[in-house]
C-alpha cells in the first residue's frame, strides 16, 4: 500500500515536471500555458494514484484493472488538445501545444504509477524537442519561403506562359495555380510559389509589373 510520503512525493514530482514544460509553452504565448499543463500533469498523476488505491483496497473483492483509469486519461485528453488547435487561413496552429498536453498527461501517469525514470526522461526529451527543434523548424521555414500571388490580367494567348516564365527565371517554383475567367475578358490568376531567397519575391513582383496588360497584382504570405 502506498504511504502518505509516496503520494506526496509523486504529486510534487509531477508538479515540477509539468511546470518545466508549461513554462516553455507560456513563454511562447500558446493557448495552453503554464497553468493548463500543470493541472493536466498533476491530475493525471492523481488518476493513477486513485487506480492503485482502488486496486489495493478492492483486489480481493473484484477483478480490477489499475490501468483502466489511466487509459481514459489518454483518450480523454483529446478534448483539451482540440481546444488549442486554431486555424488561421491556410495554416493550422496549436498542434505542438496539443501534443505537449498529451505528453504531460503521459508524464503524470508515469509518475503516478512510480515510473520516475520514464517520466523524468520524457520531460527532458519534450523540452529538448520544444526548445531545440523550434529553432530548427524556423530555419527550415526561412529556407522554404512561400507566398501566393494574385494577378488580374487581360485574357489573351500567351499571357499565362509569360507569367510562369518570369517565375521560373527567378528560381522560384510554382506549387499551385488557380485560374478564374471573367465575363469582361479579364482573368484572375492565383499562383502559389515557393522560393529560397527572400529577395526573390520582390524580384518576381517587379518583373510582373512590366508585363503588358496586367492590371493588378497582389500577394499574401
Q: What is the pLDDT of residue 121?
A: 92
Mean pLDDT of the chain: 82
pLDDT higher than threshold 60 for residue 41: yes
> Bigger pLDDT: 84 or 137?
84
CATH of the domain at 203: 3.30.70.260
pLDDT tens for 149-207 read 899 998 888 888 899 999 988 888 888 888 888 877 889 889 988 887 778 888 888 88
Last residue of a domain, one of 101, 117, 142: 142
99: helix, strand or coil? helix
200: helix, strand or coil? helix
- Are the beta carbons of 185 and 198 closer than 8 angstroms? no
Supply the DSSP symbol for 212: T
Written in H, E and C, the secondary structure of 150-165 is EEEEECCCCHHHHHHH
Residues 128 and 151 placed together within one structural domain of the fold: no
Residues 125 and 151 placed together within one structural domain of the fold: no
Give the domain extent around 216: 145-220
> What's the pLDDT band for 145 if we cut at 50, 70, 90?
confident
Last residue of a domain, one of 142, 157, 173: 142
Q: What is the pLDDT of residue 15?
A: 92
Give every CB contact of residue 25 below 8 A, 6+ residues apart in sequence.
32, 33, 34, 36, 37, 97, 100, 130
pTM of the model: 0.55
pLDDT higher than threshold 70 for residue 98: yes
CA atoms within 13 A on the CB side of 2: 22
Amino acid at each position: 500500500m502506498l504511504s502518505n510520503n509516496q503520494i506526496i512525493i509523486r504529486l510534487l514530482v509531477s508538479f515540477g515536471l509539468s511546470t518545466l514544460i508549461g513554462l516553455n509553452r507560456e513563454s511562447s504565448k500558446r493557448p495552453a500555458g503554464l497553468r493548463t499543463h500543470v493541472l493536466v500533469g498533476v491530475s493525471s498523476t492523481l488518476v493513477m494514484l486513485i487506480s492503485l488505491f482502488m486496486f489495493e483496497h478492492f483486489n480481493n473483492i473484484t477483478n480490477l484493472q489499475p490501468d483502466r483509469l489511466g487509459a481514459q486519461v489518454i483518450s480523454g485528453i483529446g478534448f483539451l488538445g482540440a481546444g488549442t488547435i486554431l486555424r488561421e487561413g491556410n495554416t493550422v496552429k496549436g498542434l505542438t501545444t496539443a501534443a505537449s498536453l498529451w505528453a504531460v498527461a503521459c508524464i503524470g501517469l508515469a509518475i503516478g504509477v512510480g515510473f520516475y525514470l520514464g517520466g523524468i526522461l520524457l520531460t527532458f526529451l519534450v523540452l529538448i524537442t520544444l526548445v531545440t527543434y523550434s529553432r530548427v523548424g524556423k530555419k527550415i521555414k526561412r529556407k522554404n519561403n512561400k507566398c501566393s500571388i494574385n494577378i488580374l490580367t487581360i485574357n489573351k494567348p500567351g499571357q499565362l506562359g509569360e507569367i510562369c516564365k518570369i517565375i521560373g527565371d527567378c528560381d522560384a517554383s510554382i506549387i499551385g495555380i488557380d485560374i478564374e475567367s471573367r465575363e469582361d475578358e479579364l482573368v484572375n490568376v492565383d499562383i502559389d510559389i515557393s522560393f529560397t531567397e527572400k529577395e526573390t519575391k520582390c524580384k518576381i513582383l517587379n518583373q510582373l509589373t512590366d508585363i503588358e496588360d496586367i492590371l493588378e497584382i497582389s500577394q499574401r504570405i
